[in-house]
Structure 1
């Protein structure tokens, strides 16, 4: 299985509009971060986790020719706003897109894209098959997903464990019960927004502490703000076994 980081930025992306800070003005490609999403490619299925506002460009940049399903973490715009662009795959594959989402995400998609779910379907709109999910494991072909519930301030968000790989964004609090699902992962991906305290995201220090608690062989930080600092500077400060993810990074699991 191959995992590609389509985006590793926070809700505004990096650079931020009209920001003149050193990170936003950096010429290092590692400091250019689209909204957070990953592409999972197994032998039999290709899946994206989240379709943020950059979804169209992410698909073009990664040259994704086929997509079997979209799995959602939560309903915030930086994770769902690009859903309309699945229609390109509808046209090429001549079938609806499989959407895996909990009840809150389903409600948000119906609110944000009402034409997709209307009784009268205008020609050319996205075609979807909704698969309701909760905290029970589910399979997409050979890919086995174990949902992990974390809290984004007070909003429940789903992370996912797939074999020895765990992907979590937008976490501030993770219960001991849900941590048990993560323990034993060889690769952990977790959000590290910035160095200063934040109400709904792990800070850099909190993410490092969580990584040490889980003890994965390698941990990658994602959902990164321009406030964290330049990629090269922060990467040089991290403990062994902990790295910053970046757009385009590929892992073979």
Structure 2
């Protein structure tokens, strides 16, 4: 299994438009963050989790040549806005692209991208197959995926477990039932927005506490705001076994 972090930034990305803070002005590539997403390859299956506004550039930068499915964590625009840019995969693969999500996610995608689902489609629009996530686990081309229910303030969001790799973003509460689904995971990805309290995201301290509670061998933090601080400084302060992810980071799991 190979995992590539396509984006590790919050909804505004980093740098933020019009901001002159030291993070947004930094020349360190690790402080330049597209909206949060990953690409995962396992058993010959190529999957993307979330298609945010930077999806096109993420695909080009990562050199992704094939896409077998998209899995959505939730319906916020920083996780769905790039759906239209799956069209090159439609053209090259000559197939509809399955998109997996909870009912409310797919319903919102149908509203916001109504032209994709129109009875009279404009030529060249994206071709998708919308599949509601109702089973645990569900399968993507034979690849088992375990949905991990969490809360983003009051909004139900899904994290996902692929074998020994677990991915959770946009959360500030993980129920006990979901913690059980995470037992034994070796690599955990968790959101850590900033140091200050936030209504719908784990802070850095809360994320560290949750990482220790889950007990993965290695934890990476994602969905990072410019307010968290410079990558090098924050990463150096983290406990052993916990690190900040960055755009382009690649992980290989046996």
Same fold? TM cut 0.5: yes
Q: Partner residue of 2:175?
A: 175
Report if aligned partners of 1:193, 1:224 keep a CA contact under 8 Å in 2.
yes
Distance 2:19 2:150 in 1: 31
In the alignment, is residue 134 of structure 1 matched against residue 134 of structure 2?
yes
Q: Partner residue of 1:104?
A: 104
Q: Gapped runs of 5+ residues in structure 1? A: none
Report if aligned partners of 1:195, 1:228 keep a CA contact under 8 Å in 2.
yes
Distance 2:170 2:106 in 1: 19
Q: Greater CA deviation, 112-121 or 128-137?
A: 128-137
Q: Partner residue of 1:53?
A: 53
Report if aligned partners of 2:11, 2:35 keep a CA contact under 8 Å in 1.
yes
Q: Deviations over 1:144-193 (max 9, x none)?
A: 11001100000000000111110000010111111110121100000000
Distance 1:168 1:29 in 2: 23
In the alignment, is residue 213 of structure 1 matched against residue 223 of structure 2?
no
| Pairs aligned (count) | 253
Q: Partner residue of 1:125?
A: 125
Distance 1:135 1:244 in 2: 32
Distance 1:158 1:38 in 2: 14
Structure 1 runs (4+) deviating above 6 angstroms are none
Distance 2:94 2:143 in 1: 23
In the alignment, is residue 116 of structure 1 matched against residue 112 of structure 2?
no
Report if aligned partners of 2:7, 2:38 keep a CA contact under 8 Å in 1.
yes
Distance 1:99 1:60 in 2: 20
Query: What TM-score does the superposition give when structure 2 sets the normalisation length?
Result: 0.98
Distance 2:172 2:239 in 1: 21
Kindly state the Cα deviation for residue 132 of structure 1 after the two structures are TM-superposed.
1.0
Matches within 5 A, 1:58-77: 58-77=58-77
Q: Partner residue of 1:151?
A: 151
Query: What TM-score does the superposition give when structure 1 sets the normalisation length?
Result: 0.99
Q: Deviations over 1:114-151 (max 9, x none)?
A: 00001101100000111110352111134211001100
Q: Partner residue of 2:186?
A: 186
Q: Secondary structure at the match of 1:70?
A: strand
Report if aligned partners of 1:165, 1:187 keep a CA contact under 8 Å in 2.
yes
